[in-house]
Structure 1
Amino acid sequence: MSDPAAIDKPALNLPEFPSEEVVNVAQRPDTSRRRVSDIPVEIQAVIGKTKVSVAQLMAAGEGAQFRLDSHFGDPVQLQVNGQVIGYGEIIADDRDNLVGIRLISIEATR
């Protein structure tokens, strides 16, 4: 049997790169960040929560009311993908009869 160390291995010929062609990653524009920043996300404004039984939910009809765990004037929670990203206050756009959110704070990102 032959010695594995004695087997001729093909030479690995790697190209030589002149040092001026080497790109410093820190100097390169962050193209991946730019690509990601254009992806649309859906923001949800959560005004409050409550728990009810399935029976209560099934028995609820038009006009049924559910008490939430928040008060008028409390900040609403802003979420993206179920994660809290900040808080805001409900505002009205009288011209177009739309509801909006005025940003109060943004949570620190990890």
Structure 2
Amino acid sequence: MTNAEPEPQENGEEELNKAIEELKDVLHEETSGISGEAGSFASNPELVMSIPVEVQIVLGSAEMPVSQLMALKKGSTVSLNRRVGEPVEIVVNGRRIARGEITLVEDDPSRFGVKLTEIAGRASAQ
């Protein structure tokens, strides 16, 4: 694998396309019955906001031959292409949207999260 943006997963992309088509159908049905209004989209933004998306935090990747993959067992370590301290990538439906750093969750130190340090298309704002 390379450091390029992850390829969209075919299954995830199909699910997203299906959700978009369903949304278009719902919006079309709702707006066709409304006269004199701007449409249900403007008056019902929760419809769009409730669409589920898949969020992934990518720590890194590794490339290895199948023989090495098949030799992995419990306790094996896979070296990733990133170093400690390098930013992780936040990927939504196969597209990188941000970068961040691993951090402990304030109200639950047994869990970790990601603090956003850069949003795609914008310079780092701190």
TM exceeds 0.5?
A: yes
Specify every segment of 5 or more residues in structure 2 that has no aligned partner in the other structure, as ranges: 1-34, 122-126
Relative contact order, higher structure (CA 8 A, sep 6+): 2
* Superposition deviation, residue 33 in structure 1: 4.3
Asked if 1:78 corresponds to 2:90, the answer is yes
Residue 54 of structure 1 pairs with residue 66 of structure 2: yes
Match for residue 107 of structure 1? 120
**1:100 maps to amino acid:** G
- Supply the AA of the counterpart residue of 2:68: Q
1:57/1:33 CA distance change after superposition, 3 Å: same
In structure 1, how many angstroms separate the alpha carbons of the residues matched to 2:91 and 2:43? 26
Matches within 5 A, 1:1-110: 25=38, 30-31=42-43, 33-93=45-105, 95-108=108-121
Change (3 A) 1:67 1:31: same
CA 1:32/1:51 → structure 2, altered by over 3 Å: closer, same or farther? farther
Name stretches of at least 5 consecutive residues in structure 1 with no aligned partner.
1-20
For the pair shown, the structure with the greater C-alpha radius of gyration is: 1
Equivalent pairs, count:
86
The structure with the greater share of residues assigned to helix is: 2
- Report the residue type matching 2:49 in the other structure: S
